[in-house]
Amino acid sequence: SQQGEEDPQALSIQEGENATMNCSYKTSINNLQWYRQNSGRGLVHLILIRSNEREKHSGRLRVTLDTSKKSSSLLITASRAADTASYFCATVNSGGYQKVTFGTGTKLQVIP
């Protein structure tokens, strides 16, 4: 089974609203990252949070991490139609070879 699972699987909001996506994972991590994918293209890195951090901000993005619950959330504020895409969390395991594994993704639609 996959390391990460995200919910909701799909989210539809109006432009200007905030979008929140959640990610849960299974093993101890070194860091957690969020990526965006437009229409089946390659993924693009958005933001990273390390295991000793609780919150990070980048522009309209806010990421939180709760290692005790093995969960993270991505908040996109004041959404735009151009934010329509799929969003994935990815974790880098701690210890051993540090491979990167992805969650199942959230498909976000922002309606103009």
Catalog residues that contact another protein under the rule CB under 8 A.
Answer: 2-4, 6, 9, 30-31, 33, 35, 40-45, 48, 88, 90, 92, 97-105
What is the residue whose two structure tokens read 């919150």? 55
Smallest separation, CB 16 to another protein (Å): 28
Amino acid of residue 105 = G
Q: Of 15 and 61, which has the nearer Cβ to another protein?
A: 61
Q: Of 97 and 112, which has the nearer Cβ to another protein?
A: 97
- Taking each continuous run of H as one helix and of E as one strand, the counts in the chain are 0, 11
Smallest separation, CB 77 to another protein (Å): 23
Smallest separation, CB 12 to another protein (Å): 17
Nearest residue to 74 (alpha-carbon basis) of 59, 52, 94: 59
Q: Of 3 and 79, which has the nearer Cβ to another protein?
A: 3
Cβ proximity of 15 and 79 under 8 Å: yes
CA dist., res. 70 & res. 68, Å (int): 6
